[in-house]
Amino acid sequence: MSLRYALLALLNVEPMTGYDLHKVFESSVGHVWYAPDSQIYPELRKMEAQGLVRGEDIPWGKKATKRRYHITPAGSGEFEAWMNSPLEYSRVRDPAHLRAAYLEYAAPESARAQLKAHIEHHETLLRQWNQKILEIDTDTSTMLTRRLATLPADQRQRSRAFKRFAYEGLIARAEAEIAWANSGLRLLDDLPPEA
């Protein structure tokens, strides 16, 4: 259900085509919410049918057109309503911790490799997110810069602070995952070898 709101959040900044949105999903928003284009295009049409966005065909080259969507007042309303509604927490479904609980069934070298992969995975995320924080601080993030341009000066700090806040949370989580996996590696070292 969040895809719709992620799209509305982006269209709040400026009108975009499905293709534009899909690209943004691969870079900025994609860090909190991924969506493939095969999901974006139909969702946009559904949202248009419900009056949350309106699309217009704009010329592209000589023969072609592309469809650019902009948010409607109903769409803004829907988005703000969602932003002010309590978050629904879905039940835990966590492959990594499921596996950890049964790590005794894995060969020790395999367990070690998996924990190392866990660390590497989260270190990659960490690098991406730290990069994002840097972009926020130095004003080199395209989407955020555009967003800030639409705001009065006194609200820019606010906007920037929340973006930073979101990424800081992701970073803290990734660091916790890395620390946990490291403690797992230590556990493997300390555990007596299997009989």
Partner DNA sequence: CACAAATACCTATGGACATAGTTAGTGGGT
Partner DNA sequence: ACCCACTAACTATGTCCATAGGTATTTGTG
* Residues in 52-71 at the binding interface with DNA, rule: CB under 7 A: 60-64, 66-68
64 contact, one of a second copy, DNA, none, CB 5-8 Å limit per kind: DNA
Candidate segments 19-27, 98-106, 145-153, 166-174, binder of DNA by CB under 7 A: 19-27
Residue placing its CB nearer to DNA in the complex, 43 or 184: 43
62 binds, among a second copy, DNA, none (CB under 5 to 8 A by kind): DNA
Angstrom CA distances, 141 to 52, 56, 106, 110, 132, stand at 27, 27, 43, 40, 8
The CA–CA distances, whole Å, from 66 to 54, 56, 91 equal 13, 8, 40
Indicate which single residue of 5, 12, 23, 54 sits in contact with DNA (rule: CB under 7 A).
23
Whichever of 26 and 123 has its CB closer to DNA, that residue is 26
Sequence-distant (6+) residues with CB within 8 A of 107 are none
Distance CA 95, CA 162 (A): 29
Residue for token pair 């943004």:
24
Q: Which is nearer to DNA, 27 or 157 (CB)?
A: 27
